[in-house]
Structure 1
């Protein structure tokens, strides 16, 4: 007969609660002690004997060549010795002569177990004390010293030594001198008692500051290690650079040896150029200063707006441009050395001259239509027959429109005669002017 299955609400809640509590306890225990589970902890277990645990604790790190590879699993006494059991990764092999030492990792005395693999074969037993090293507890020694010194009654010590010196007053000279020296030493300690206490107090303050800054100090040490590793890497890069420079130097040496005859004239010319530069050093320095001023002015011009105007003198050599300019002005019948009336100035007051009246195009005696614009005369137009050169048109008859020759004057009309020059009398200072014949 099949028994019907009970629902969850029909079951005994006490039994269900006990089972739930048991499952939760098992899960919590497994989470806290997972390292002790055989199917999760796959490391190798070793042990070592030490004369002193030196502040090492269970769970401390195990390092090989400064790299963490495991943790200390147990610390116990084995007679007068301390047996330290530790586990490391399976890929770490420890030889028969392996050494172990307890090292200080931080300034506050945190200890780690440093294992140094040595020898061949496989380590199959505890590391003996002959190959282990216990740390020197400097903080404990300084603390004991501070407590001992602070507990000394300096006044009583000074009085005791003085009494001892008086008691041995009749002793031989050498012993008397030694005791007096001890008395002076005690007196010196008594005089500097406050300073000693201040020194120990300051040492305690320094220790407290280091305790507060331990994380920063440890981080600084780690950063220093990273810096040293980077410097080591850069050192290798510098070695490679020096090797390449040496190879290039050898190649240059061979190249110079093979081309010594060809390089000699070039070097002589280079020496000549350097000599010229050295002779004109002052001019070059002046040019560099002027270039600096020009660069500053150009920068100010460029930064003043979205546009700028710059002028570079002698950018195009004049001896190449001047023939084209002369030809263009000649085609227009103009002299480039003569200023236009609008460009003249009054030499007395420096004011611009009176604008020229409209005048007909100058009569140059050339045939054809006059050239009215200068750019057309300089560059020409596509298909313009002026460039290349062609023979000019014959001159028109006199009296025609410009640029033809002017009309010939009718005969019988004399030109205006030029006035004859005459002397001008200028009286000397203090001389009365006299009127001569022919003068008003």
Structure 2
């Protein structure tokens, strides 16, 4: 093998140029070819500021990149690549979103529907773009033309005068709103705890719904029983009222007969009260006599009595007094 310094310099140059061209082609191919990705297109009403190189997100996660923004007829066609493991259904939707206040955007995809995306293209009726300021101005131009400038100037003047006259009240009102905002901000944790507690109460009520329904059914039974008892008490009161009226009528109808009877009864009671001492003495005297008679008649069919004369007169006395004995 020849040493390198003996090689043909022209041939070495051609080989070097060929290798350089191959490396350049390989770099270009590597930079333009997306491995593990798939290319899609979406039709937009306008670009909405979307540029090539911005992100493509699926459910808030970056899964691809915008590779081109081209004009087609009166619409804009956005070309983007997406990771091949993301399946876009037949009803997939796309929308342009604002990423930052500096004007960066991203394309948000919403995979919907079954099957695959027809032609790997999202049509115009399933894409959305942010509201265009030009559309707002154009839609409001007609309304502005219809306004009366003099009347509008008078209204603005009146508003300025009103604000100027009430400046002393507006200042404290704005301060009050600011303080209220501070209180709300300072109490945000407490408000969060309150909402969490409310959610826990709601969960507890939801879990106890069956028990609450059962309690309500039992409550219905109690209410029904109370209603029945109330009806019974009502009937009792009605019947008692009727009885009272009947007794009142009886008393009214017998008032003339009862008064003499009550007067006679009062007279009898007064007489008995007057004779109470006599009756008491009679009972005291009758007690021993009754006891002696009971003792005398307790020995058989006779009575043992000891009577001193002349309790019973002799037989001759009886015969003499009647004109002879028989």
Would you call these one fold, judging by a TM-score over 0.5? no
Max Rg structure: 2
Whichever structure has more helix as a proportion of its residues is 2
What is the TM-score normalised by the length of structure 1? 0.30
